[in-house]
Structure 1
Amino acid sequence: MKNISKIAILGGGGKTGNYLVNHLLNEGFQLKILLRNPEKFNIQNNNIEIIEGDALHFESIKILLKDCQAVLSTIGQRKDEPLVANQTTENVLKAMKEYGIDRYVLLAGLNIDTPFDKKSSKTLMATDWMKSNFPLIQEDRQKAYTLLEKSDVNWTQVRVPFIEFTDNSSEVVVNVEDCLGDKISAVDISKFVAREMIESKYKRQSPFISNL
């Protein structure tokens, strides 16, 4: 894998994204962050380049990914807005191919299904709740996973339970078949994503992570 020094960030303006951005800056990376509303972003650092645009627009993604060696996404679905997961994934994969970028790590919920899952009754309950209450969002996210599977890039889709927005860090358990815990701290998500970006232990897999 190419050495990673500059990273394209999607979702950096969100709560989880803020934790990830701060962690990556502390690790010494240069960041390009796509924001629809840059004026609302309050992290200032010389290693940040802000790109104003929308992940649903391919040209914005193309500008974002230029000169980067990896793409990280914590982007989520906003209420009453166009579906974002499938279109964003399509745009990212297309731009990655154009630029020869190989590494893509993104967050997803427990509700994504893969052929390798052996979900417990608790995880299945959470999955079924999402399917029943937000069927369009669920379908959109599942389509995004299908795009990843069909691509030839080195992706890792990190599935997480309830996120606690805290700096408290504790032991993280990783499992490719089921989610073994009920929650995960945003700081532990950030550490795992940054490490996985480099190490690729879960290449083309969708591991669950949670705190014990």
Structure 2
Amino acid sequence: MKQEIKIAVLGGGGRTGKYLVNKLIARGFQIKLLLRKPEEFQIKSSLIEIIKGDAINPEDISNLVQGCQAVISTVGQRPGEPLVASRTVTNVLEAMNKSGINRFISLAGINIDTPFDKKGKETSLATEWMKANFPEIQADRQKAYSILSASELNWTFVRVPFIEFSESSGELAVNLEDCPGNKICAGNIADFLVAQLTDETYFRKSPFIANV
């Protein structure tokens, strides 16, 4: 059934993003995709509109969100390229405010810290490993959370552990204080992200999700 609302998607050409796009199509959502290389994107649907551009370019984000009612991002750091997390969030929030859009859903890693966390040993070790081995990327992602948490929009920052690139597998657990498992399927991530379009439970919150 075709949905009345249109979703702006960043990172839809990535490994997790493709699962998200397929889930949105299956549920009849209209989609605007921001892609750096549209010619390489293989998913075809009349529900998809493609915008060529880059998430770190404010004008491209502005073009993307026009006519949309919500934004979902699965953008990840590209090896050897400029830091993307905080710039993307800044650009998205600015464009959303200008366009009157209030719902933003973003994917992140378990290494992001929030004031509400009570991370257990495994989650804490993973966080410290990221800080030690990729300090600039970690700091940029943490900055993205800080920018987002200061926003008055209805955002959800979904934190995930190691991603297995397969369809849904097993039960999904959600926890606001600590990651409930050490892996998650990309299909489960996509299902959860799509569900947030109509669920207010995690407005302005940063849930951990994992397969158990």
TM class, shorter-chain normalised? over 0.9
Residue 62 of structure 1 and its aligned partner are, at CA, apart by 0.2
Are positions 1:40 and 2:49 aligned together? no
Identity %: 58
1:20-31 matched pairs, under 5 angstroms: 20-31=20-31
Partner of 2:65: 65
Residue 104 of structure 1 and its aligned partner are, at CA, apart by 0.3
Structure 1 window deviating more from structure 2 (161-170 vs 15-24): it is: 161-170
TM-score (norm 2): 0.97
Cα offsets for 1:10-58 (capped at 9, x unmatched): 0000010000000000000000000000011000100000000010000
Aligned to 2:96, the other structure's residue is in SS state helix
- Is there any run of 5+ residues in structure 2 with no aligned partner, and where? none
Partner of 1:80: 80
Partner of 2:128: 128
Structure 2 residue identity aligned to 1:86: S
Runs of 4+ with >2 A deviation? none
Residue 196 of structure 1 and its aligned partner are, at CA, apart by 1.3
1:129-144 matched pairs, under 5 angstroms: 129-144=129-144
Partner of 2:184: 184
Structure 2 residue identity aligned to 1:79: P
- Is there any run of 5+ residues in structure 1 with no aligned partner, and where? none
Partner of 1:197: 197
Partner of 2:164: 164
Structure 1 window deviating more from structure 2 (52-61 vs 194-203): it is: 194-203
Question: Within 2, Cα distance between the matches of 1:185 and 1:10?
Answer: 19
Residue 4 of structure 1 and its aligned partner are, at CA, apart by 6.2
Are positions 1:54 and 2:54 aligned together? yes
Question: Within 2, Cα distance between the matches of 1:64 and 1:88?
Answer: 12
Question: Within 2, Cα distance between the matches of 1:7 and 1:174?
Answer: 24
Aligned to 1:92, the other structure's residue is in SS state helix
Structure 1 residue identity aligned to 2:90: E
Aligned to 2:206, the other structure's residue is in SS state coil
Residue correspondences, number: 210
Partner of 1:210: 210
Cα offsets for 1:170-207 (capped at 9, x unmatched): 21000000001011111110111100121121110000
Question: Within 1, Cα distance between the matches of 2:95 and 2:169?
Answer: 34
TM-score (norm 1): 0.97
Residue 168 of structure 1 and its aligned partner are, at CA, apart by 3.6
Cα RMSD after superposing both structures: 0.9
